[in-house]
Amino acid sequence: MPGILRRCADHLIAVSKPAADAFIQVGIPGGMISVVENGVDIGRFQPDVSEKRDGDPAGRFFIGAVGAADPRKGWHNLVNACAILKQKYPNLRCRFVGDLKAGQVKYQGRGTYHDALLRLVTEHGLQDMVEFTGVIEEMPGLYAGLDLLVQPSEIEAGPRAPIEAMACGIPVVATRVGGNSDYVQNGVSGVLCSPDDSQALANAIDCLLSDRELRRRMGIEGRRIALERFSLEAHAQKVQAIYYQLLHSSN
């Protein structure tokens, strides 16, 4: 693949530094790669002051994971984390949002990944806690109803959901893999934890659910970071600068 890329492209754009490092590891020269983070419409994805997210252990908390129902997204670890959190947060609600067709891949020799997720939910008795919504078109409204977003991926390049949540002022719990660790600042806009570790994921979620002020501060910081780094304007300017540099270097 490195040879094909080098023959077909003068320059590569990686959506995160870890993604750029992965290109370098397979033999792409570092000078041939630029990092341009994904951008979001920060006018569309913004805090909803009309939605009051004020959960507490005696009330209802809403958390969510957004993406395709693919094993690489680690949704099984979030289901297991919900089972761990169930005793302390009996009214916790977890929404899995995304294309369920991606979950039709074979998984561990026992049917599909989607089947495995449903089995986990049943085995843990989480039918009233966990919901698989499928695709939702109006994503800003979804984020407005969450206390935090969870990105439990086992592998990532440059995930869009965390930066959409940050733009909406929602703190993020994410695994320390790929673009997650590039986009989410641990202790600032969210909490990073080890991948493929349901207990670590549960601990990180608990850290935020148990501290309303921390959630508020991280939501504010996430919005600030999104404005600085993840706007569509910033994305376009970086891409334009790369084209400009390549154009003038070839003359």
Q: What CA–CA distance (Å, rounded) separates 37 from 85?
A: 33
Please state, in angstroms and as integers, the Cα–Cα distance from residue 7 to each residue in 12, 34, 101, 190, following that order.
Answer: 12, 17, 35, 40
What DSSP element (H or E) covers 5? Answer: helix 2-8
pLDDT (average), residues 51-80: 83
The dotted CATH code for 62-229 is: 3.40.50.2000
Q: What percent of the chain has a predicted confidence (pLDDT) above 70?
A: 92
251 pLDDT more than 70: no
131 pLDDT more than 80: yes
52 pLDDT more than 90: no
Q: What CA–CA distance (Å, rounded) separates 214 from 225?
A: 16
Say which amino acid occupies 152. P
Computed on alpha carbons and rounded to an integer, the radius of gyration of the chain in Å comes to 19
Confidence of residue 250 (pLDDT cuts 50, 70, 90): low
What pTM, to 2 d.p., does this model score?
0.91
Interval 152-203: pLDDT, tens: 999 999 999 999 999 999 999 999 999 999 999 999 999 999 999 999 999 9
Q: What CA–CA distance (Å, rounded) separates 88 from 205?
A: 12
Among 47, 59, 5, 63, smallest CA distance to 29 is for 5
Q: Output the average pLDDT for the chain.
A: 91
Q: Domain locations in the chain?
A: 1-35, 62-229
| Chain centre to alpha carbon of residue 61 | 19
Quick one: three-class SS letters along 131-151? EEEECCCCHHHHHHCCCEEEE
Among 31, 51, 64, 17, smallest CA distance to 165 is for 64
DSSP assigned state of 43: T
pLDDT in the model for residue 200: 98
Confidence of residue 60 (pLDDT cuts 50, 70, 90): confident
Q: Give CA angle at 158 (157, 162), nearest 5°.
A: 130
